[in-house]
Amino acid sequence: MKNNKISHEKDFIYGRNAVIEALLNAPDRINKILISKNITNDAKINEITQLAKNNSVVFQFVPKERFDSFCDVANQGVIAYVSPVSYTDLYDFLNTKQQDYARVIVLDGVVDPHNLGAIIRTAACAGYNAVIIPSRRSAQVNATVEKTSAGAINYIPVIQVNSLSNAIDKLKDNDYWIIAADAHGKDNYFDIDFTDMNFALVMGGEETGVSKNTLKKSDFVVKIPMLRNFNSLNVSNAACAIIYESLRQNICKSRKNK
C-alpha cells in the first residue's frame, strides 16, 4: 500500500496502555522507550520492559525530574519515541479485499483530538475496517489522538482524504451504503438493518454536524433518540451507540444462521 506520512506535532506516544499496544502491534515504529525511575514493581511497566526485550526495542530508566522535562502531558511515567503512523490511501483500501462486508466510519469535521482518538478506539474494538477523515477542518492523528485511542491507532487504518465529497462518491461506486447520523434523521439508528451490506457511517463535527452536501448523498439519515429535551450526545458517544448497534445486529444474525 502507498502511505502518506502523518505530520505529527511531536513523534512520541505516552501512557502505559498506548505504549503496550504499540509494542504488541507495531514494535517497528518504536525508536526508544523512556520510563520514569521512580516507578517500581508496576505490572504494566514490567509488561512494557518484557515486550521491549522480546522485540529488541531499546528502553531506558531516567530520573523523574529529567523525565518530566521531556514531556509535560499526563504520561503515566512512560513515553516512547516513534516513527509517525502512516495514513492509508482510500484507493488502496478499496482495492484490498475484506474478509466480510466492510464497515467504515467517516468523520465529517470532528475537531477534538480526544473525540477522534476515542472513535478510533471504538471502531477498532468493534472490528470496523477503517476510519476516514478529511485533511482540513478536522482533527488529525497526533500524540493526543494516539494516547486517547489507547494504541488502537495501530489496529485500524486511518484514511485521510482531501475531499470528503469525492471519498463518499468513491465509496458509493464501490457498493457502500452511506448512513449519516443527524438529529433530524427520519429513523432511529436501531431501525436500520446494518447486516449484509458494506456501509460507511458518517458522523458530523461537534458544532456543525454532518454537512448538507454529505446528507444529500446519504442513503439513510438516522437519529439517536433523546428522552429528555436535551441537546445531544458527545460525538464519540453517539458514534459508539451506532457502531455497537451494528455489531449487535451482526452477532445476533450470525447466531441465527448457525
Minimal distance in Å, beta carbon 141 to a copy of itself?
A: 17
Position among 190, 197, 198, 219 found at the interface with a copy of itself (CB under 8 A): 190
Binding of a copy of itself at residue 237 (CB under 8 A)?
yes
Binding of a copy of itself at residue 26 (CB under 8 A)?
no
Coil, strand or helix at 245: helix
Coil, strand or helix at 187: strand
**What part of residues 109-138 is at the interface with a copy of itself (CB under 8 A)?**
114, 118, 121-122, 124-127
Cell of 167: 471519498
Position among 97, 184, 228, 256 found at the interface with a copy of itself (CB under 8 A): 228
Buried/exposed code over 198-236 (b: 16+ C-beta within 10 A; e: otherwise): bbbbbbbbeeebbbeebbebbebbbbbeeeeeeeeeebb
Q: What is the 3-state secondary structure (H, E, C) of 79-111?
A: EEEECCCEEECHHHHHCCCCCCCCEEEEEECCC
Binding of a copy of itself at residue 23 (CB under 8 A)?
no
The footprint of a copy of itself (CB under 8 A) covers: 17, 21, 114, 118, 121-122, 124-127, 148, 150-152, 155-156, 188, 190, 224-228, 230-234, 236-238, 240-241, 244-245, 247-248, 251-252
